[in-house]
Amino acid sequence: MADFDKQANKVIAPSALAHVVLQTGDLERMTDFYTTFLGGSVTRRNEMLAFITYDDEHHRIAPIGLPRISPKVRGSCGLDHISFAFPDLTTLLLAYRQRKACGIEPIWSVNHGPTTSIYYRDPDGNRLETQVNNFDTNNAATDFMESAAFAENPIGTDFDPEELIARIRAVEHDAKLKERI
């Protein structure tokens, strides 16, 4: 039996991040955007909210419609972005092309060092990151983040997704493609 009175030096960590709820003034538009952006589907919807999934979880994103809500104020405190990971660079760039074909254009493409990332904005102005890890292990990524190169430039260097696609087609090695300039 669990000892609920035992003192601990830290709180038990959750097993996973389950979902994100986004308040919106336009539920229809946000639902359409996220189902398209994530290649997802609506598992439950009513006039006030939609549960959207793209994997084995019953919902990952849930826009909730609040008609009298104020627009997002850029430059204010709060969530900066939500990040979605892909298994490899080719898949990240395939998803980029598929989004582009749906009229969803990126706002920023950057190699942070630990990740290669493509950012977007949803209809309410929330930023979304799609990313692939550049290192094979978390320890290797942490080592890079502790390096002088990262200290000198912790944001990263911009890249052109179309140029990376051309380099993949030229059969350039994945590790070389993920190197930060």
Residue 26 DSSP SS3: coil
Instruction: Tell whether 6 is covered by a domain.
Output: no
Q: Does the structure show a pLDDT above 90 at 76?
A: no
Predicted confidence (pLDDT) per residue in 87-109, tens digit? 999 999 999 999 999 999 999 99
Q: Are residues 85 and 134 in the same domain?
A: yes
Predicted confidence (pLDDT) per residue in 128-139, tens digit? 999 999 999 999
Q: What is the C-alpha to C-alpha distance for residues 131 and 140, in angstroms, rounded to an integer?
A: 17
Q: In angstroms, what CA-CA distances link 70 with 26, 65, 75, 131, 158?
A: 11, 12, 15, 30, 32
Q: Are residues 58 and 118 in the same domain?
A: no
Q: Are residues 58 and 113 in the same domain?
A: no
Residue at which a domain ends, from 41, 68, 95: 68
Q: Are residues 64 and 102 in the same domain?
A: no
CB 92 within 8 Å of CB 116? yes
CB 132 within 8 Å of CB 88? yes
Residue 17 DSSP SS3: coil
Residue 148 maps to which CATH number? 3.30.720.110
Instruction: Tell whether 4 is covered by a domain.
Output: no
Q: Which residue reads 């826009």 in tokens?
A: 63
Query: How many structural domains comprise the chain?
Result: 2
Helix ranges (H only) for 2-137 are: 27-38, 89-101
Instruction: Tell whether 158 is covered by a domain.
Output: yes
The type of residue at 8 is A
Q: What is the C-alpha to C-alpha distance for residues 127 and 140, in angstroms, rounded to an integer?
A: 27
Q: Name the residue range of residue 168's domain.
A: 80-181
In percent, the amount of the chain with pLDDT more than 70 equals 100
Residue 61 DSSP SS3: strand
Position 75 scores a pLDDT of: 84
Position 50 scores a pLDDT of: 98
Whether pTM > 0.85 for this model: the answer is yes
Residue at which a domain ends, from 34, 68, 102: 68
Q: What is the C-alpha to C-alpha distance for residues 30 and 7, in angstroms, rounded to an integer?
A: 44
Position 93 scores a pLDDT of: 98
C-alpha 122: how far from its chain's center? 12
Average pLDDT in the chain: 95
The type of residue at 90 is T
